[in-house]
Structure 1
Amino acid sequence: MLVAGVMISGSFLYANNGNLKNGSANIPTGDQLGTIKAEVSIDDDPILGNEKAKVTIIEFSDYQCPFCRVFWRDTLSQIKKEYIDTGKVKFVYRDYPLSFHPMAGASAQAAQCAGDQNKYWEMHDKIFGEQDKLGQGTVTYTIQDLKKWASQIGLNQPVFNQCLDSEKYKNEVAKDFADGSAAGVSGTPTTYVNGRQLVGAQPFSIFKSIIEEELKK
């Protein structure tokens, strides 16, 4: 595996055209964050947390996007501890694989295949976590790596391999992408808190403020 590129902290994201953009460019900033709203469905994607939670967070993300990995590591971990594990928030991951990340689509399908064996979130964390061990930037990996990681989390290997090789979830991933585009997603990560849009790898403090506002409604 090789590591390419440089990680940039803050609210950066990758746009659908392959350009690096600052998450605060041409979108609400400061007190205006979260003012853009959209109707975004959970669809049939896996839910992490209390299904009856008052606040729903939906993330459109790309497994090979380094800024999505920053969000997973630095922000989602805190949201999980403070709000998901306490039953106040449910979290949904929807796939938005960018065309210039060659393993993003396969990784999205790999997580769905793991879900067939009730280990969606374990594979979700494994894919991000294994890349994170290799440093900053965009990480190069292969289908064989996905299969190895699946084995390491205890999946039935032949069943997983058949699912991944057959592209069983190709259409499901494509539907997520289409739904995201329809909702206004143009880069990753893009997150919706009860429909309120946050673009880029925003820090936990931003999410905390908006979550608390939604909990008080």
Structure 2
Amino acid sequence: YSSPACPSCKVFHDEAMDGLIERVKTGSIQLIFVPLTTGSITNAPGAARAVICATEQGKAWELQDVMFSWQAIFGNQAFTNNRIVAALDALGVNNDNYNACLSSQRPSEVLASAEQAASGLLNYIGTPTIAINGVVPTDSESGEVINDSAGILAAIDRAIAQAPAPSSNTTAPTVEPTSAGAEAAATEVPTEASTETAVPTDAATATDAPTATIEATATSGG
């Protein structure tokens, strides 16, 4: 669960995204993003809606990378409408299709479902929150939520190690991510949300939260 206007989400993105991408590239996890509107930057809802509509054209991860970089450069003026439109143009987003999405009910429906999913998640601590197979990881001794980047990646690796071996008829990924940041997604499709989650690929069907999201998926090794 994350928001373009959340400073802690930017920190997590900068520290952990490369590691998450590597695990997607090897087919170890699915990465599903649930967009929220948290954060104090003006027009946070507009930024989240832009990301939702950008996913329909496969540009959501690239737009998020840009938006997180804006936090440090432009501060509270990061998400002006003109700046968002200019970024979408630079990314090659089709304006007619984007505007049709933006004027539809889809962004509101996605955000409402995301809020509902977040409120129903045990140990949800605000953004960013990572769930692994639908469960927010906690420290085995203290019981506290694990929310540092290194701890999250370690928890993901433990889940990968404990997952059953994939079946021999696992479908290969349609597209493989090629590098960090802008190329974060193996696929970017509207799908039914889990959490913003790292899911060992053989356990993908265990994710069933109720919203459309942006998903980066790798379903087999390589």
The normalised TM-score by structure 2 is 0.61
* CA positional deviation for 1:158: 3.3
Code of the residue aligned with 2:21 in structure 1: it is K
TM alignment of 1:105-184, pairs within 5 A: 105-132=45-72, 134=73, 140-166=78-104, 168-184=106-122
TM alignment of 1:33-72, pairs within 5 A: 60-72=1-13
Count of residue pairs the alignment pairs up: 154
Report the Cα distance in structure 2 between the residues aligned to 1:197 and 1:92, rounded to whole angstroms: 14
TM alignment of 1:7-46, pairs within 5 A: none
Which of 169, 177, 197 aligns to 2:136? It is: 197
Code of the residue aligned with 1:188 in structure 2: it is T
Higher strand share: 1
Partner of 1:215: 160
Answer yes or no: is 1:188 the counterpart of 2:127.
yes
Residue range with higher mean Cα deviation, 157-166 or 178-187: 157-166
CA contact (8 A) 1:62 1:96 kept: yes
Quick one: structure 1 residues 104 and 155, their matched pair in 2 at CA, closer, same or farther if it must change by over 3 Å?
Answer: same
Identity percentage of aligned residues:
25
1:169 match: secondary structure:
helix
Code of the residue aligned with 1:80 in structure 2: it is I
CA contact (8 A) 1:61 1:93 kept: yes
Quick one: structure 1 residues 114 and 98, their matched pair in 2 at CA, closer, same or farther if it must change by over 3 Å?
Answer: same
* CA positional deviation for 1:169: 1.1
* CA positional deviation for 1:146: 1.2
Higher helix share: 2
Report the Cα distance in structure 1 between the residues aligned to 2:104 and 2:60, rounded to whole angstroms: 18
Quick one: structure 1 residues 164 and 200, their matched pair in 2 at CA, closer, same or farther if it must change by over 3 Å?
Answer: farther
Partner of 1:92: 32
* CA positional deviation for 1:140: 3.8
CA contact (8 A) 1:69 1:128 kept: yes
CA contact (8 A) 1:109 1:167 kept: no
Gaps of 5+ in 1: 1-59
* CA positional deviation for 1:180: 0.6
Q: What is the RMSD of the two structures over their aligned residues, measured on CA atoms?
A: 2.4
Gaps of 5+ in 2: 138-144, 163-222
Report the Cα distance in structure 2 between the residues aligned to 1:186 and 1:216, rounded to whole angstroms: 26
Report the Cα distance in structure 2 between the residues aligned to 1:188 and 1:150, rounded to whole angstroms: 24
1:64 match: secondary structure:
coil
CA contact (8 A) 1:61 1:190 kept: yes
1:188 match: secondary structure:
coil
